[in-house]
Homo-oligomer: A and B are copies of this chain.
C-alpha cells in the first residue's frame, strides 16, 4: 500500500505530484466565499462573528462570550494533569531558550565623515495567533506561535480558536496560552476570525500581524488580508521526507512516516533510501503499525495517496530529489548526517541522525514547528522572532557629507526625470541652513 519506486524519473515525477497536491483550482472557487465572509465581518463586526460561529461551528455566542473569561482561564489549570502541565513547561522553556538566540540587534556605523547609517529593530504592536480547534487541538502550536512573539517584545498578543460545543476551548490550549503570555483569547475560528483580527470588531481590536496554521478557508483569508496586515505564511498540509541509508532502523522509519500521515489525509510521508531491502522492511512495518493505529482510516488514506518510498542510487541523488521537493521536515537517518548537510539547499527543519524523530522538534527541542510547506522552503523560513520584528533604516548626513555626494545624486535624479529630487539637494547647497 505504501508504494516503492525504483526508477529515478518515476520518483521525481511522483514527488512533483505530491508537492503540488493542493491545486490552485481546488482553492480558487472557495475564494468568493472567503471574500464575502471578510466583507461581512468588516461591515457587521461582532454580529457577523456571532452569525458565522452559529452557522459553521453550531455554537451560539454573544458579544460577551466571544472572549474567554478569566474564570475559564483559571479553571483550565484544574483540567489538565500535572504531567501535561510539566510537559508544557519543559517545552516552553526550551522553545524560549532557542528563540532567544541571535535576535537581530540595532546597530549604527560611520562609513564616512559625517555619515551615520544603521538599522533599528522594533516589534509589531499587536500580533494575532490563529489556533485550529476541534479534534486537532494542539497546545504545542500555541507555544510555537506565542513564544517568538513574546521574545520579540510584542506588547499585545491575542489568540483566536474555534469553540467546541458548550462552547468550551480545550483546556490544554488555554493553559499553553497563559504559560506563553497570550493577553486575550477569543472563541472564534475560520475566515471570520482572520477578518476580525485584520479589520477589528467592537470586541476584538485589530492586530498588525497574523500567524498560525488553519484549514483552506483560514489560509485563503490570510492571503486576502495580507497587505492590510502582515502574515507569517500560507500553511498547507504537513509533510516529511526521510533520507535513510542501510544503517537506519525500519521500525523507527515506519513510525516516523506514520507520525506524519496521522495528521491529515493530505499529509505526505516520503522515504528515500539507498537500500532496497530496507525499503521492503519499512513498507511491511508501516502496514503492521497501521493495524493498531486508533485513527487507522485517515492515516491509511494519507499513506496510500501521498506516501512514497523511493530507492535511489546514492545519498547525493536523495539530497538532489529532496532539494527539488523542498520538504517542510527533512530527516537524515544516515550514518553521517552532517556530511550530507552541504548538499541540502531547501528544507524547513532538518533532523539529523537516527535518534532525532520529527516529534522531538514538533514539541520541545526548541526550534519552531511552524515551517514552510508545499515547496515554500525554496523561499521561506520557519516562524521565528524575526517574523514579529521589523526594522527601519537610519540615515544621517552632515552638510559636508551631502556636498560630497551631491553631484552623483543630482546626476541620478536627472537621469530618472525627477527634478525635485535633485532640487532637494541643490537648494540645500545653494541656500544652506544657517543653523547647521
Contact = CB atoms under 8 A, between A and B. Distances in A.
A112 to B, nearest CB: 9
Residue with the greatest number of chain B CB neighbours at <10 A, chosen from A299, A356, A425 = A356
A186 to B, nearest CB: 20
Nearest to A368: B393
Given A125-B345, A138-B416, A293-B419, A409 B379 contact: no
Given A352-B116, A408-B91, A433-B355, A420 B258 contact: yes
B111 A395 contact: no
A277 interface: no
Given A355-B436, A356-B395, A289 B412 contact: no
A350 B394 contact: yes
Contact of A412 (B35, B295, B354, B364): B364
A146 B278 CA distance: 46
A187 B14 CA distance: 35
Given A363-B412, A393-B367, A419 B294 contact: yes
Nearest to A332: B396
Contacts of A262: 418-421
Given A115-B365, A408-B91, A415-B172, A352 B395 contact: yes
A433 B251 CA distance: 10
A119 interface: yes
Interface residues of A, number: 136
A417 interface: yes
A140 interface: yes
A218 to B, nearest CB: 14
A395 B360 contact: yes
Contacts of A55: none
B379 A252 contact: no
A376 B227 contact: yes
Interface string A281-315: 00000000100011100010000000000000000
Contact of A226 (B223, B350, B396): B223
A395 B355 contact: no
Nearest to A25: B39
Nearest to A349: B393
B427 A251 contact: yes
A122 B347 CA distance: 10
A399 B139 contact: no
Interface in A376-414: 376-382, 384, 386, 390-399, 401-402, 405, 407-409, 411-413
B249 A431 contact: yes
Interface stretch (A43-51, A63-71, A102-110): A102-110
A259 interface: yes
A13 B394 CA distance: 28
Contacts of A227: 223, 234, 374, 376
A431 B251 contact: yes
B428 A252 contact: yes
A256 interface: yes
B293 A417 contact: no
Nearest to A344: B392
Contact of A424 (B35, B359, B417): B359
A255 B424 contact: yes
A164 interface: no
Interface in A237-258: 247-249, 251-252, 255-256, 258
Given A125-B378, A230-B380, A341-B120, A102 B91 contact: no
B107 A378 contact: no
24 contacts: A84-B411, A87-B408, A87-B409, A125-B346, A135-B417, A208-B379, A223-B223, A226-B226, A227-B234, A247-B435, A251-B431, A262-B419, A263-B418, A350-B394, A351-B396, A353-B398, A354-B435, A355-B397, A356-B395, A359-B413, A359-B421, A360-B397, A367-B394, A379-B390
